[in-house]
Every structure is written in C-alpha cells, then in structure tokens.
Amino acid sequence: MKDRVVVITGASSGIGAVLAEKIGQRGAHVVLVARRERELAEVAARAGAQALPVVADVTRRADVERVLASALARFGGVDVWINNAGRGITRFVSELTDADFDDMMLVNVKSALYGMQAIVPYFVERGRGHLINISSFLGRVPIAAHRSAYNAAKAALNALTANLRADVGGKGVEVSLVMPGLVSTEFARNVIGTPSAVPPQWTPNAAMKPQTPEEVADAVAELIEHPRAEIYTNPASPEMARRYFEDLRGG
C-alpha cells in the first residue's frame, strides 16, 4: 500500500472516508474527492500528510477530468481509482418520476462512467492500474423494492464494469466490482424521498447483518492488495444470491 496513489470519489463520509483514512495511514497517497469542502478537509487531515482533497462534482465530466489532472500534477501518477460516489432512493417503481430516475443514473452510473473514461486510457497507456467500482448487493439481487431505481442503476454499473473488464483484458489493467450489503452509514438518511427503515428481508434476524464501514473498507483495502474481479463484502451475500437465483428458476 505504501506510496500507491489512490483516488477515491465520495470520500467525505461513509465508506469512502473510512477507506481513505485506513489506506492513508498505511502509507498510500490518497486523493479524496467530494463536493463538501469542509467535510473533505476533515477526512484529509486524518488520511495522512500526503492526502490531497479535491472538491469536485463527479456528475460533471469536466470535474472528473480535473481530478485526474490534479492527481497527476501532485503525485506524478495514479495507481488505483475507486468510483465510490452514490446515492439511494425510497420510491417504488410505480412512484418513480423522470427526475428520480435521471438522478439515480447520473449519480450512480454516469459519475462512475466519467471516472472510467478518464482513468482507464491512462492505465492502458501506462500498462498497469486498478479500477474499482463500488456497487451494491442490490445491483445483483434487487430484493429491496423501495430502492427501485437505485437497484437498477447499480445493475447497470455491474454490467458496465464487466464490459470494461472485457475491453481491457490483456492490457495490464485490473477491473474490480465491490458489492456491499447493508452498511451502517448515513446512506439511508440521505436518500431521495423519505429516509427508510431496514426492509424486512434485512432485519438483524435475517441472514444478512449490517456491516460497519470499517469492515467494508477493510475488504476494499484487501482488494487493492490482491485484485479480484468481484467481491461481496458481507459473508452472507453469496448464499443469499444463490438462493435468490434458484428461486427465480423455481428450483
């Protein structure tokens, strides 16, 4: 981890903030990206003397390109790029407005697309690099109906990630997808619509227990050290996914 340059979007809170602090304390040079300047500066102060906060809106392509330029100007290179910015929603499919759907796709998919299109050509030219997209278990197993367009957006991100991995095969670029389950952050309080309770499928009595952002950050840090195509961060996720698809097949 020491001296690796790691860009993390959505780094002012939640998983992104905890990850920045963890890897910064292990010697990584972290580029922290978010819109909230004060919160971003506070995280940067805990992420090591080399941490670089960049205030940017990753739903704007020009801002994402500026992030890359800032990282290269400061550190001379980028080793890992983590698309972590995201936002949820509390709307059933029948209730979605055009604005709801467009916002979910912009924040959860297009921001990551801009990141991929900014960094991957650099990685390919360099002959090495690691792109990590933070998705969700709901992008693979959409069991929370009130998350509707969020689930759809993360499923789209999953597909784009897989397609990108095929695009850059043999070019020295690692492409990873991370699918957390329930995580104890402010995510549910910052959704579009009413802040939501945990859906019945995910109560503490169910198989999937909430993880802390520290647990998810540890999983991502391990992924940086040992790249893999896909990971679930919650130990219960693989079995839940298997049962879900078996039920769909009726077997």
Query: pLDDT tens, 84-99?
Result: 999 999 999 999 999 9
Residue 167 pLDDT greater than 60, yes or no? yes
Residue 206 pLDDT greater than 70, yes or no? no
- CATH (domain of 164): 3.40.50.720
* Close Cβ partners of 197 (under 8 Å, ≥ 6 residues apart): 188
Total structural domains within the chain? 1
Residue 180 pLDDT greater than 80, yes or no? yes
Q: What angle do CA 9, 90, 138 make, to 5 degrees?
A: 60
Structural domain containing residue 102: 5-249
As annotated, the active-site residues are: 150
Read off the pTM. Answer: 0.92
pLDDT for position 186: 64
d(CA 149, CA 106): 11
Choose among 178, 248, 236: nearest CA to 203.
236
- Stretch 64-90: mean pLDDT: 96
pLDDT tens digits for range 2-26:
999 999 999 999 999 999 999 999 9
Q: How confident is the model at residue 182 (pLDDT cuts 50, 70, 90)?
A: confident
Amino acid at 173: V
Residue 63 pLDDT greater than 80, yes or no? yes
d(CA 189, CA 88): 9
